[in-house]
Structure 1
Amino acid sequence: MRRRGPRRGRPRRARRRSPRRPRREAAVIVRPLQPADRARWDAYVRARPDSHFAQRTAWMDLVTDAYRLPARWWLAEEGGTVRGVLPLFEVPGRRLFSAPGGLLADDADTAAALLEPARARLRDARLEWIELRDQRTEWPGLATNREHVTLELALAADADAQWKAFDAKLRNQVRKGEKSGFTARWGHAHAGDFHRVLLENMRDLGTPIRGPAYYRRALELFGDDADVLVLDLAGAPAGAMFVVWHGDVAMDPWASSLRRHFARCPNHVLYWEAIRRAVARGARRFDFGRSQWGSGTFAFKASWGAVPVPLFYQYALGRAARVPTLADQKRSLDLAVRVWRRLPVAVAGALGERVKRLFPEAL
């Protein structure tokens, strides 16, 4: 009999199953978030290692201010103790979508209880679906899309140990960038330069972004838990990153470098500077952010030694017939992406604010 070799392709992923329900003395109560609940909500999110900074109430303020969407944020509690949170926004007449991180709960029964008022809203308003985005837990009873992953790097106790943990090729690329003359600066005051770099790079990728006021507002809302890193070359911005400190993890929701400098390895200098700052602040993990399995960004992040962590997009369907996929999105936006890439940067900046309002789900 011929022995079969190992299967090739995508690595096997460990599924994080929803936790079992512990024995309870009191019933779980689900109700809308009230202003007096904000501190308790945020404390629950911060204490969870599987949470996302966008599940904090500062994100609710950012999105409702920028997009004028109703926030449907539900809190589950038992005997006065928070057991779960569900941060949703509604696109009227269309759909409900979650903040990145999706539904966070102690167990599957609490998750189901949190979904009950959302399902009622789905039926009553005849919406397309409820979308739970970027979840680390796959909850039962929901349609699931498994096309995304984030990558996390476990951080060493100091920068020297972290540097030695990288392989020789990566260290050489960082050194090459440093020898090219890149210099780094941190601070909220550099939000304008951050936006200029992000705007040009995302234009090259065919993606509109919000205006600079949106990112300044994010810095204001997250305060000391957020910062901006700008990389300069010959006195001009060449790379930039927005970093959020969330519990023991550093996360970068937005990062870009200008393509004309790619031969000098600006991304390697940018990420090494951010990782070094995260280590200095005592962070234990660096979250490189969402990618598609096997993509170019996946390979870049993995080259730092980061480990893939599956992200689950889950859906409760309303009037929609099926779960949306990346292929659907690419087909519908292909022409728009090709047109956007041809726009002058100034035009992309002027139009981006209006266009981005049509896609509130994206970061």
Structure 2
Amino acid sequence: MTNGSKALYSVEEVKNEDYKLWDAYVEQHSSGALYHKMAWAKLIERTLSQKPRYFLAKDTSGKVVGVLPLVNLKSVVFGNFLVSMPYFNYGGVLADNTDVSTMLVNAATELADNLNVSHVQFRCSEENMPSDFHLSTHKVNMILDLPESQDALGKSIGSKRRSQIKRPIREGVSHKIGGKELLDDFYDVFCQNMRDLGTPVYSKKLFAEILNTFEANVHICVVYWEGKPVSTGFLMHYKDKLEIPWASTVRYANRISVNMYLYWQILSYAIEEGFKQFDFGRSSIDAGTYKFKKQWGAQPHQCYWYHYVPKGKALPDLSPDNENFGLAIKVWQKLPIGITKLIGPHIVKAIP
């Protein structure tokens, strides 16, 4: 950072009076995502009890020239660290230029040193961080450029997948796309699926808060079979992209390919609503979820997850693939769903 850039710009933690300026900046920035929005700060603090530390950069005239949302996650099991942004696939710095970006990153690393955290993680969609940061590229976001019509989508996926979509239709499935009225059905399927995967579940309160806070940006799709919800997707959109951060199917319904029907209906909805892209979420290359998303025509977009690690610290492995978590996953899979709903939210809030 040059002395000139120090004089031109200033960085500080955001104040209440700057919230509207922050959101206006996110709206106009080409890389701005819904997860950069200011409302997440209070939502995460209120529902997950984790502390937001949001940095704002201004020029000498008071104009916003950059933002960096950070959340300080703490737990006895997973430690103390900072993430931009936790729980989702996007975050990191938004800035007018590299000088501003550098100042925001320096503010984050200075905070990390002061808080004695193990590391800072920046979830970026492009290479834009210091070269001495640890870079993880094992994940990709799977994104589909949507065709102009449902017919064009059907042709693009081929006859085998069209046949898989028809199977649940013959079995009499139906679906609904809506909002808050579908939350209970979504959550029942979500909890069952997460338990079967051995993953702690978020609280229903979190999803209710997201629906309330971003009402215009959120929908839920639920598939029903024999009168019961069996497959579901929690949908969020921003600008011209529709994303599915959470999707779940109960195991017994997999035999009729109900998840193919779920995604067909969601993609058809995305086309009807005029979205240009559909974001299937992140996957590891060649994993089962990667192959499932690829069959719809989705293409991998590299995730650049940078890590600042203070001197004397080591970057912890918090991924589900860590063999240290293997026993915990097996135990979790055997718990009653009621128990997972009760204790899961206290665990998962510290998993980024």
TM over 0.5: yes
Deviation at 1:153, TM superposition (A): 0.3
| Residue-by-residue CA offset, 1:269-299 (whole Å, 9 max, x unaligned) | 1111111111122110000001111110000
Residue 97, structure 1, aligned to residue 83, structure 2: yes
Secondary structure of the structure 1 residue equivalent to 2:200: coil
Change (3 A) 1:294 1:273: same
Secondary structure of the structure 2 residue equivalent to 1:181: coil
| Residue-by-residue CA offset, 1:283-322 (whole Å, 9 max, x unaligned) | 1000000111111000000110000001011111115634
The equivalent position to 1:262 in structure 2, one of 245, 251, 254, is 254
Matched residue type, 1:132: F
Deviation at 1:48, TM superposition (A): 4.1
Deviation at 1:179, TM superposition (A): 2.2
The equivalent position to 1:118 in structure 2, one of 101, 108, 133, is 108
Matched residue type, 1:69: Q
Deviation at 1:38, TM superposition (A): 2.5
Deviation at 1:137, TM superposition (A): 3.7
Distance 2:117 2:40 in 1: 23
Q: Which residue of 1 aligns with 2:142?
A: 151
Distance 2:183 2:277 in 1: 24
Residue 83, structure 1, aligned to residue 65, structure 2: yes
Contact 1:226 1:242 in 2 (8 A): yes
Matched residue type, 1:294: D
Change (3 A) 1:49 1:152: farther
Q: Which residue of 2 aligns with 1:311?
A: 303
Secondary structure of the structure 1 residue equivalent to 2:116: coil
Deviation at 1:161, TM superposition (A): 2.6
Residue 74, structure 1, aligned to residue 64, structure 2: no
Secondary structure of the structure 1 residue equivalent to 2:214: helix
Change (3 A) 1:112 1:270: same
RMSD: 2.2
Secondary structure of the structure 1 residue equivalent to 2:303: strand
Contact 2:283 2:290 in 1 (8 A): yes
Change (3 A) 1:170 1:90: same
Deviation at 1:49, TM superposition (A): 4.7
Deviation at 1:102, TM superposition (A): 2.2
Change (3 A) 1:236 1:134: farther
Residue 107, structure 1, aligned to residue 97, structure 2: yes
Unaligned runs of 5+ residues in structure 2 are none
Secondary structure of the structure 1 residue equivalent to 2:308: strand
Residue 330, structure 1, aligned to residue 311, structure 2: no
Distance 1:291 1:253 in 2: 12
Change (3 A) 1:62 1:268: same
Distance 1:354 1:135 in 2: 29
Matched residue type, 1:191: L
Contact 2:202 2:344 in 1 (8 A): yes
Q: Which residue of 2 aligns with 1:3?
A: none
Change (3 A) 1:320 1:313: farther
1:1-363 equivalences in 2 (<5 Å): 27-78=8-59, 79-91=61-73, 94-99=80-85, 100-133=90-123, 135-141=125-131, 142-187=133-178, 188-319=180-311, 321-325=313-317, 330-359=322-351, 361=352
Change (3 A) 1:333 1:101: same
Deviation at 1:355, TM superposition (A): 2.2
Q: Which residue of 2 aligns with 1:8?
A: none
Matched residue type, 2:230: A
Contact 2:47 2:205 in 1 (8 A): no
Deviation at 1:212, TM superposition (A): 1.2
Deviation at 1:329, TM superposition (A): 5.5
Deviation at 1:134, TM superposition (A): 5.0
Secondary structure of the structure 2 residue equivalent to 1:150: strand
Change (3 A) 1:160 1:327: closer
Contact 1:128 1:320 in 2 (8 A): no
Change (3 A) 1:330 1:53: same
Deviation at 1:133, TM superposition (A): 2.4
Matched residue type, 2:69: P
Unaligned runs of 5+ residues in structure 1 are 1-23
Distance 2:172 2:311 in 1: 55
